[in-house]
Amino acid sequence: MTVVEAAIFDLDGILIRSESIWAATRERFTREHGGSWDEDTPRRMIGMSSTEWSAFIHDELGVEMAAPEISTAVVERMAEVYRRELPLIDGATDAVRRLAADWPLGLASSANRPLIELVLDLAGIAELFAAVISSEEVARGKPAPDVYLEAAAMLGVAPAAAVVIEDSTNGIRAGKAAGMAVIAIPDPDAPPAKDALEAADAVLDGIGELTADVVRGVVV
C-alpha cells in the first residue's frame, strides 16, 4: 500500500476564482493591441503556461508585440487586480492549513511565478508551501505532466506518493499523466470535461470538503 507523502495544489480555480479574470484581462489586452478574439479563445488557453499563451496571442490572435512582452503586460494587469481585491475561494486557506498539518505541500500552477508568489503572500500562506513551481519553468504546460513531476521532485517524493488537487480538464489530465492520484474540485465557471472528471480519483463539491482523510483515501 502506498502512503501519501505530499499534497500538491493547483492555484487558479482551487485557491482563487480567477479564470474569468484571466479571460477578461487577456481579451481586453488582445483587442487593445489589434488582435482577434472569439468565445472559444479562453477555453483554448486553459492550462497553457505563460510562454505558451503569450505565443498563442502573438501567433494565433495577431498581436504584433513579442510574446515575452505580452506575458509581462498581462501579468502586470492581473497583479493590479489581485492587489485591489484577491479573489480567494472561501475555505481555501483553511484547507491548505489542514493539509499542511500532515504533509509537505507543493503548488504547481500555470500562472506566472510573480503572480503565484503575490497570491500566496496576500493570502498569508506562502510559508506553508515547501515547493512552488510555475509551468513557465518547465518544458511543457498542462496537460503534460511536467509541472507536477517537477513539484514532486522538489518535495523529494515519488509521484505515486503525491496527491494533486485540481479543478480543470488539463490540470486533472496533467496530474494523472504524472502518475499521481487526483482530487478534482470542479470550477463552476469552467467545469472540466466529463472524461477528465471520470479519471479523477475523487470529486468534491467544494474545497471545504478537502480533508486529510479524503487525501489518504485516494491513494491505494
Low-confidence ranges of the chain (pLDDT < 50): none
Task: Give the pLDDT score at 55.
Answer: 96
pLDDT at 67: 96
What is the predicted pLDDT for the residue at 59? 97
CA pair distance 177, 8, nearest whole angstrom = 14
The set of cell numbers assigned to 104 is 509537505
Selection from 150, 140, 147 nearest residue 166 by Cα: 147
Q: How far apart are CA 116 and CA 89, in angstroms?
A: 15
pLDDT in tens, 10-33: 999 999 999 889 999 999 999 999
Beta bridge partners of 16: 12, 88
d(CA 144, CA 137): 13
Written as one letter, the residue type at 158 is A
At 48-80, the pLDDT tens digits run 888 889 999 999 999 999 999 999 999 999 999
Count the Cβ atoms, other than its own, within 10 Å of residue 77: 15
CA–CA distances in Å: residue 188 to residues 20, 46, 51: 11, 14, 26
pLDDT at 29: 97
* Residue 152, pLDDT score: 98
Pairwise CA distance, residues 135 & 115, whole Å: 12
Radius of gyration of the chain (CA): 17
Closest CA to 122 of 13, 14, 15, 7: 15
**Per-residue pLDDT at 11:** 97
> In the prediction, which pLDDT does 126 show?
98
